[in-house]
Structures are given as structure tokens and as C-alpha cells.
Structure 1
Amino acid sequence: MASSPIDECIGVFRWVLDVQSEWPCSDSIKSGREAATLWALGKDNQRALNFLTAEEREKVLRFYHIRDVKLSLGSQLLKHCAVVKSCRVPWSESRISKHDNHKPCYVPKNGSGKHLEFNVSHHGSLVALAGCTDKDTQIGVDVVQVDTVKDVSKVRQEGWSSWVSTYAAVFSDREVQDIAIWKPSGSLDGDALLTAKLRHFYAHWCLKEAYVKMTGEALMAPWLQDMEFRNVQAPRAASDLSVKDSKEDWGEAFSDVEVWRDGKQVTGVRLELQAFRDDYMIGTASSRLDAPYSPYKLLDLQQDVYSAAEAN
């Protein structure tokens, strides 16, 4: 999906990075600090790490699993790249700040220049970032991978309703019931039926995560069970779309969800859920209804990130 130049975007720009494609290696060969250190010695990996501050490199290399190292590295690179491209500052000045609620942001020196509000999420092998240069706009993003192999096995052991009930602390009573009794149209059965129900569950999860991240609160927010999403649908995966509708890896986008809290419908928030490939969904939440969402852009490290870092 092509997108407009980021510095011309008056709304919310959205990026995705596939770290496994960019740094291909087996994530299961070794784990531990030694493995992370050895991985970091690779020429291409050193190049990426050298774009970070010493503190950021140390944070990245603390992770036990190589896959988490790559996700953390990708996340840090996207943050800096977003600041450089949207706020037009040199990479060396793209220092990441935090609001009082610990959400990351970019605040220019002496308050002169563009601000950047953004949010980052990662799961599986994807890192997603959504950002906006309107400092009064709150942004939340969440990416989930539907691991049907793992989840179907657990569901078969525990039963669907029992498995759903383990997440009752995250959802309202109505949401739990909706997820538990929901059935897709058509005559699916077996693993196909469970996969459809799992996608519906993860659609709820992804939307709620994006929303609470927009507010700056975690899934332990005291009002979490008082807020619910209605009319939730899982967007169709890329392979489920006809050839003429399919745009590379991107599946269907869904935005007709309703947000309710304490029995009243919440307005003034824009939500969208997009399918990516066959097993991912990405949710975006914005506190501005009139801020347009750019199409997601799948980034290339060399063309989109390294070029920005080495340009100054």
C-alpha cells in the first residue's frame, strides 16, 4: 500500500516492520544473553544497533530470546525514524521522551518545532507504529498474531466457554457472552470453526488494547470491564479476499465497531481494525475523528529506515 509523504500527512501515519524478514535467522537455536550478544556481532545487526543510543542498545540486548531482541530493535528504529521523517530533525536529535503516563512521544528542544504523538506494538514478527504530529491527538496501536495451532489445542482441552472465561478480567460481561456464543455465518466445523471464533476473540482483544494504549493506561485499568465494544467483526484475511480486491499482504479493514462505557456510547474516538496476511490483525485508535488514517506501509529497513538514519 502506497502512502503520501509523511511530512505532508495531516492525520495518522501507520507503519509495519517484519523483523523476521529483515533479520532472518532461526529464533529457536539458542536463547540467553550469550545468544543475543553473538547475534549482535553480525555485520547487518551491528549496523542497526549503531543507530541507537548506548542506553537503547543495552535495553535491546537484555532480552532472553533472539526474537524479542529483534522486536525491541525494530521498535526503537521505528520510533527514531518516525521522529526524523515527521518532524524533520536529524537522527542524532531524535531523542524519545515520555508523557507523565509513560507513553512515548517526541518533544522538540525549547518547544520549537513539530511534536510527535505515537504508539508502538509488536507481536509475532511484526512491529507496528502509528503516529500524528498533532500534539493534542492521542494514538494507540496494537498488533496480534492469531496462533491457531497453539490456541486450538488449548481450546480443545479446556472447551471454548472455559477458555474464553480465563480472559473475563479484560472484558465486560456482555463481551464475554458475545465472544462465547458467537458463531460465523456458513457451515464451518472442526478447526475451521475454531479458527473463525479465535479471530473474533482476537478482534475484541486487539481493539481493546489499542483503545487502552491510546488513553495511556494498561489492561489493568480499573474501568476496563466497564468499557465494551459492540458490533465487533474480524476483518477477512488477505487470502480470503478475491484477487481483484487483494492488495498484496493486506486483508480487510473494519471500522464500524461501537464503544460503550458505563452504559453510554463513547463518541470522539476513531477505531479501525486491519487484517494483515493470514494470521495478523492491527488495531488503531485515535482521539480525533477527523484525522485521516494513512494506509499501512510495510517498511524496508534499507530504503525507509537506514536511509533516514544515514542522511544526516
Structure 2
Amino acid sequence: MGKAEIFRWLLDVQPIWPVDESNGTSLAAREATTQWAKGKEAQYALNLLTGEERTKVLRFYRPSDAKLSLGSYLLKRRAISSKCKVSWPEAIISEDGNRKPCYKPLKTDGQALEFNVSHHGTLVALVGSLSKDLKLGVDIVRTNREKDHAMVMKEGFQAWANTYESVFSAREVKDIAEYVAPMHEDPQEVIRAKLRHFYTHWCLKEAYVKMTGEALLASWLKDLEFRRVQVPSPSTQEGNDWGQACKDVEIWFHGQKVNDVQLEIQAFKDDYMIATASSSVDASLSAFEELNLEKDVYH
């Protein structure tokens, strides 16, 4: 039996389902989302969902959040339909015991699909596999320079890192707080590098936890520890948005090294990082495929 194959998709919702900003700030957030949903492009996409899914999308106050939710639903249904060879109406998204989205075939001999989705900023990522024995997790982070820089300057990096002690182990908090950033003439770039190191930790942990099916409220969060964390560098090649991919992080759980989980984190554009977690170190990770809505999602 060959290696399990993991496909990875990425959709940028920023240029699609445009938001009508002709009303400026006169519309309340809820009204803005309702107005956005009346647009021709948004209506077409929303009509591809079930009534319940549409309702969940339109609960978001901001159109930007509604767009991310819509993109997430469409990617999940496209993955189920295309990979499991079922019609769009049959590509029903279910939930497992931990409320993690999953696909349960309607037929007893139907093909199952393991998948996980994350969205942040303007990006939606989906990782999936037809392997029955695989568990997957994915997370996207985007550094918020203005907000985070202001907090660090006000409180200091040690105090700022300590606010996350419910998520990270004492060793991780120390590692984050004492991280020595590469030398730079601009002090703000030094802080940015330290923040990227923090968000690398966060993204890896989120992807791992999502793989297990639990959330960041899991009681064992502080017992899950990452060591020798490498920060992926953004691309320096013109025309290439994908930066460095790092896979050598050490995973420790309850003081024991974990050797059967594969973790990768990759830089995308200047501020994004995407982490993928797989319950098999032998599974084959494809490169991320940037999808086109018309060609790859609708058809």
C-alpha cells in the first residue's frame, strides 16, 4: 500500500464577491452583510449552499467574515464532490463527536474524506486526504503589525508573552519571550521578527490541536510543547508568494517526544503563515494549489 496523499488548496476571497462600498460607513455592519448578499456574484455562490449553511454565513456582521465563511463552505463541498465522486447535493458536510467537520458517505461503500479548513485575513485553506486512517489539521495566521506592535511597546515583550501562558508551556513562554531576533537597524523590524516567532508557535499548536479534533480549550494544551521552532521566511523571489517551508520542529507531549506526527509551516506573502498537521509522518504533502473560483470551485 502506497503513502497517503494529502492535497492542499488555498482560496483568496479578497477579489471575489465584491462588497459595495458606495454607501460608505452609513450602513451598520449587519445591514452591510445583508446588502453584500444581494450582489449578483454573492447570490450565485450562496445559492450553492444549503439553507442552513446560508443562514450561518449571513450571521456574520462584517461582509469580510461572511466571505471567509462562504469560501470555507464552498471549498469543503467541492473537495467532497470532486474527491469522493458524488454530486454537489450529496456533498453534505457533517460533524464528528468533537464537532469537527467531516464527510459521512450516504452509501455504505462510499468513499470517505478526511479534511480540515482554516481561514484568516482574506485566505481560506483546506487540506484533505482519501486515506481512512489519517487525521489532518490546518491553520492560517496573519501578523497584525499595528495592533501587536502597539501592545508590545506598551507592555514589553515578556509581559505580552505571559498573557498566553494558558496556551503555552512555561518553556514555550520563555522561548517566545527570550527569542533573539536577527539583527536589524530598524527596531520595529526586530519586534516584527519576534512576533513572527510567536505566531509560528501559535500556528503550529492550532494546526496540531485541530488535527486531534479538539479546540484551544483542550485541558492538555500546556502539556503539548514545541521545541526548536523555526520561523519560515517570506519569499524573496519576485512573482512568487510562497516562502520557506519548515518541518523540523520537535513535538513533545507530557515530556515525551512525539515521532508519529508530521508538522509543516510555510510562509505566504509578507504576513501569512500556514501550518499543516498530519497524523502520519509518511504521508505525502502536496504543494498548496491556489484555486480559481470559476474554474476550480464552481466547476
Distance of 1:198 and 1:129 partners within structure 2: 25
Match of 2:16 among 3, 22, 42: 22
The question of whether the paired residues in 2 share the 8 Å contact of 1:31 and 1:66 is answered with no
Q: Which residue of 1 aligns with 2:227?
A: 230
| Change in CA separation of 1:149 and 1:53 when aligned onto 2, cut-off 3 Å | same
Matched residue SS, 2:231: coil
Amino acid at match of 1:72: S
Residue 113 of structure 1, CA deviation: 2.0
**Alignment of 1:289 onto 2:281:** yes
The question of whether the paired residues in 2 share the 8 Å contact of 1:31 and 1:65 is answered with no
Structure 2 portions without partners, runs of 5+: none
Q: Choose 15-24 or 172-181, whichever is displaced more.
A: 15-24
**Alignment of 1:134 onto 2:131:** yes
Amino acid at match of 1:265: K
**Alignment of 1:12 onto 2:6:** yes
RMSD: 1.7
Report the identity percentage.
54
The question of whether the paired residues in 2 share the 8 Å contact of 1:237 and 1:251 is answered with yes
Q: Which residue of 2 aligns with 1:299?
A: 291
The question of whether the paired residues in 2 share the 8 Å contact of 1:83 and 1:116 is answered with yes
The question of whether the paired residues in 1 share the 8 Å contact of 2:125 and 2:140 is answered with yes
Residue 187 of structure 1, CA deviation: 3.8
Q: Which residue of 2 aligns with 1:3?
A: none
Match of 1:171 among 162, 168, 183: 168
Matched residue SS, 1:248: coil
Residue 108 of structure 1, CA deviation: 1.1
Q: Which residue of 2 aligns with 1:4?
A: none
Deviations 1:14-69 (A, max 9, x none): 11111112234378844433221111110011000010001100110011111111
Alignment of 1:256-295 (within 5 A): 256-295=248-287
Residue 227 of structure 1, CA deviation: 1.1
Match of 1:58 among 38, 55, 58: 55
Residue 214 of structure 1, CA deviation: 0.3
Residue 268 of structure 1, CA deviation: 0.7
Distance of 1:21 and 1:291 partners within structure 2: 33
Distance of 2:132 and 2:289 partners within structure 1: 22
**Alignment of 1:217 onto 2:204:** no
Match of 2:101 among 100, 104, 114: 104
Q: Choose 201-210 or 189-198, whichever is displaced more.
A: 189-198
The question of whether the paired residues in 2 share the 8 Å contact of 1:104 and 1:117 is answered with no
Q: Which residue of 2 aligns with 1:198?
A: 195
Q: Choose 265-274 or 102-111, whichever is displaced more.
A: 102-111
Matched residue SS, 2:5: coil
Deviations 1:54-89 (A, max 9, x none): 110011001111111101101100100110111111
Matched residue SS, 2:128: strand
| Change in CA separation of 1:31 and 1:280 when aligned onto 2, cut-off 3 Å | farther
| Change in CA separation of 1:10 and 1:225 when aligned onto 2, cut-off 3 Å | closer
Amino acid at match of 2:266: Q
What is the aligned residue count? Answer: 295
Distance of 2:186 and 2:171 partners within structure 1: 25
Distance of 2:147 and 2:64 partners within structure 1: 18
Distance of 2:133 and 2:76 partners within structure 1: 19
Match of 1:182 among 155, 174, 179: 179
Q: Which residue of 2 aligns with 1:120?
A: 117
Matched residue SS, 2:115: strand
| Change in CA separation of 1:287 and 1:146 when aligned onto 2, cut-off 3 Å | same
Amino acid at match of 1:306: Y
Distance of 1:281 and 1:117 partners within structure 2: 22
Matched residue SS, 2:118: strand
The question of whether the paired residues in 2 share the 8 Å contact of 1:249 and 1:277 is answered with yes
